[in-house]
A and B are shown apart, each in its own frame.
Chain A
Amino acid sequence: MTSKPQVYPYIPNSVPAVKAAMLAATGAASVEEFYADVPTELRMDRPLNLPAPLLSEARLKRHVQAILARNRHCGEVLSFLGGGCYQHHVPAICDEINGRSEFLTAYAGEPYDDHGRFQALWEYCSMMGELLNLDVVSVPTYDGMQAAATACCMAARHSGRRLVLLAANTSADKRSHIKTYGRSEIDFVEVAFDPITGLLDRGDLRAKLSQEVAALYLDVPNYFGGIDEGQAIAGLVKSAGAMLIVGVDPLSLGVLTPPGDYGADIVCGDIQSLGMHMSYGGGHGGFIASRDEEALLMQYPSRLFGIAPTSVPGQYGFGDVAYQRTSFDKREQGNEFVGTAAALWGITAGVFLASQGPQGMVELGEGIMKRVAYARQRLSTLPGLRLAHPGAVHFKEFVLDFSATGKTVAEVNAGLRERAIFGGHDLSEAFPALGQSALYAFTEVHSQADIDALVDALREVLAS
């Protein structure tokens, strides 16, 4: 306490007179009385040791903005970073809607006072359902990694088997999380990828499939951007009686076949591409989808919203489907756990999908594939530069191999940064077998001039 009591804008009852009156109403002599149950030996005997506060909004804002000025963001440079988080154009109405106070500050209201929240999330699931050609889509989980981990657990529970095959051309981070998350119930085995194409090594897959296998987990496109032949792989997996789980970039589905169509039993992925800013990793959300089969649906841990008639004829309402699956209802008897995750990004992805419509999704997907193809053509002409996976078709990203240039990726990227370009993500640590390789991503934000600028800058950097 300072000598002059501070009134805080965020704490209305910090007004001394009000505080005193309220204390009187409770019959307490001081706030200390409310802490009577906290033993002395547990009490802090000093104030918290924190930086001096910036009590005025004006000074706080200036302080934070000065810190932010130490960042250099992708809007002021050309960035070709991908690897699970992508720079796409975020439509203004996505920001407008997720910035609305109503959505931003709502939480766990009922389907009546929060009717709009329920409808917006149910519509998100519905539009994802159209994109995926599947009838069941969960409300968002944390991110695509979590969706993948949960999908594996769902498959294990559903099948009663404890072996899950993981494609090795999945992101190392994702494989790490899947294993940590699932290994109490599941034994994981990795399936190799073909070094020429970066695609799944079907021979290795055949060798590892058995009647013990619950599922194969595969990303399409894979971490290197390569597109595998879904149907062929699904055929192998099904012949072993296993399930196929496919992780997919939803933004690819205007041009690529939805995995359910070639036999995936569970489809999952990340919705960051669908209208979320990258925000240094703050824009992620995961989805899980499947056919509407009761046994499979009962394996979902997350909330599922359903539409229902109300007591007014012709009126819709919404509510929780099969709530008794969840840990909210059943604690450890429910499926995994459920809680706050990424609902606002679900609503935003709904706005995105409604804004793109069918034609927008097709154009986005095709445009990205063509930009990638153009970039591959142009980049492969640079001396020493090699496409790591010439044998595959790519969506959004691909691996460039710098091994023959005599420069490390780190050196190249430093040179590019001087030219206001963020080069591709360095894979030399996570995939040492790829040598000095980097993952380059291209989206609709990149114009031909941008790609040409990258080519020119790389030529300079490699020659220097």
Chain B
Amino acid sequence: MRNEMTMEFDAISENEAFARISVAAFISFLNPTLEEMSDVKTAVSEAVTNAVIHGYDGIEGGKVVINCLIEKDVLHIEVIDKGKGIENIERAMEPLFTTKPELNRSGMGFPFMEAFMDDLEVISEPDKGTIVQMKKKIGCTSWIEDEE
């Protein structure tokens, strides 16, 4: 089974819940557990929030793109912005590292994505933007077994 969707929306914080709910709805036919569902929602929230707050910090009219692909029981998600990009990716991914302490950012976005998903890759270039790629196996495959 293969199922694919892509969405693009205005980089405003109001759309973070929308993005999270949409991805949850998209994967729901894979019959995930509540925990898997909540893991994916958390990871998507963190990635979208980063795109809005860091990527498009002070830039008007930005767009966030989410690509989702389900292949068998593996979910692939990409969250893409065309914003400021990240200079030092390794450092950005360290727990507690944040460039926005004044906004009460915890520096735990990337560590959460890493913990809640099976795989995390970050591709970024200053002034070009950032691509966050995540993968997760969704355990309950009853839906796939039932397929004829």
Do A and B form a real pair?
no
Residues of B that sit less than 8 Å from A by CB: none
Residues of A that sit less than 8 Å from B by CB: none
